[in-house]
Amino acid sequence: MAEFTMELSDEQKEVRDWLHGFAADVIRPAAAEWDEREETPWPVIQEAAKVGIYSLDFYAQQYFDPTGLGIPMAMEELFWGDAGIALSIVGTGLAAVGVLANGTEEQIGTWIPQMYGDANDVKVAAFCSSEPDAGSDVASMRTRAVYDEAKDEWVLNGTKTWATNGGIANVHVVVAVVDPELGSKGHASFIVPPNTPGLSQGQKFKKHGIRASHTAEVVLGNVRVPGSCLLGGKEKLDARLARAREKAKKGGERVKNAAMATFEASRPAVGAMAVGTARAAYEVALEYAQTREQFGRPIIDNQGVAFQLADMRTSIDAARLLVWRASWMAINGKPFTAAEGSMSKLFASETAKKVTAQAVQILGGNGYTREYPVERMHRDSAIYTIFEGTSEIQRLVIARTLAGMPIR
């Protein structure tokens, strides 16, 4: 087990600086254009693939970093560049986590490489969990998966929403209900291979922020996938459903299902994304306050501005520490006895919203225009308190965990 430390190794620092350079030289200069276009920035993703950032190897190296800091460090630097483009680059990772968390070794080896493609032919993947009537309330999920024993196939029907890369993905990972009577315990995850008949893109959403990231509905109409596309395999699913039916899991024990396992693994990473956006806005505001003069002196000389910057930096550092702690705990198998993963996501996402708003205020009228990036960063920051569990849901998870109550 790696000791918890706040000091990055020399190798980690090299990776951080490399990512920061890519974010500064490639992502940030393209940010405004792709935000306006509201399209997937395929050229930027391809550049990331060419240098090795958008690849299974890079993601795996960071994911299995024994300190747990590889993923949050990478997320912070990329999202420092721009949230929309960065999400287009890392969005495939959520689907990859879904397979890593629930799949067999054969499934991991088969499907994750197909999620990324290669530098000459980049692909993306989508994780499809939310539905029009089932976002935070995963027990209300309606997408059904029915097993056709004669053909050893699963038949999927339903509509997913808010899917990053939904419809344009090469591989979709879909969470569906296999036993409605078991609520959230009756869910399973399925791989939908490329070009599978019956899967189509529904509405593409025009969003307030992260506009360079493709978000859409995914419609599943009698989608048939081989039995081998059930993540974890049918034997494991049958055993889990049997335990649930026998009520082996008592009150107060944390409920585990495919979607929750993925979200638990990814929430600190979302916190790191928020830290990156907050840090970017803070740095713009700090530089502006040091160079912008009013009444014959830099505005940072005014206590009202200086105190805001002090609070911004303090909150960012505190958020990073919570993210790093949760990431270290996760990689080392430490249980989140106080919902530390949700804590990190909650605090970091709320920090991003507050810090970006303060940055706009410090820049005044300039901050409200698209000539300065804080306007875009402020719009982007709103998503962190919404996706992969709203701030309200994070507070509920934390409260129920502290009270020793089951999380449904």
Q: How far is CA 230 from the centre of its chain?
A: 23
Query: Cα separation of 126 and 98, whole Å?
Result: 10
Only one residue has tokens 């949050």, namely 72
* Residues forming beta bridges with residue 176, ordered by sequence position: 188
Using alpha carbons only, give the angle 278, 387, 94 rounded to the nearest 5 degrees. Answer: 95
Write the CA distances from 136 to 86, 207, 391, integer angstroms. 24, 19, 11
Phi, psi of 82 (to 5 degrees): -175, 135
3 has catalytic annotation: no
Both structure tokens of 56: 């299974």
Helix, coil or strand: residue 371: coil
* Sequence-distant contacts of 100-103: CB under 8 A, at least 24 apart: 100/63, 100/265, 101/258, 101/261, 101/262, 101/265, 102/189, 102/231, 102/232, 102/258, 102/261, 102/262, 103/231, 103/232
Contacts of 137 (CB under 8 A, 6+ apart): none
Nearest to 67 by CA among 121, 113, 12: 12
Both structure tokens of 305: 């501005």
Q: How far is CA 349 from the centre of its chain?
A: 12
Indicate which residue of 47, 76, 77, 388 is catalytic. Answer: 388
Query: Cα separation of 5 and 2, whole Å?
Result: 9
Query: Cα separation of 23 and 79, whole Å?
Result: 8
Helix (H) or strand (E) holding 95: helix 92-102
Contacts of 213 (CB under 8 A, 6+ apart): 40, 83, 84, 85, 87, 88, 91, 164
Asked whether 213 and 35 are in contact (CB, 8 A), the reply is no
Helix, coil or strand: residue 104: coil
Asked whether 213 and 246 are in contact (CB, 8 A), the reply is no
| Catalytic positions | 388
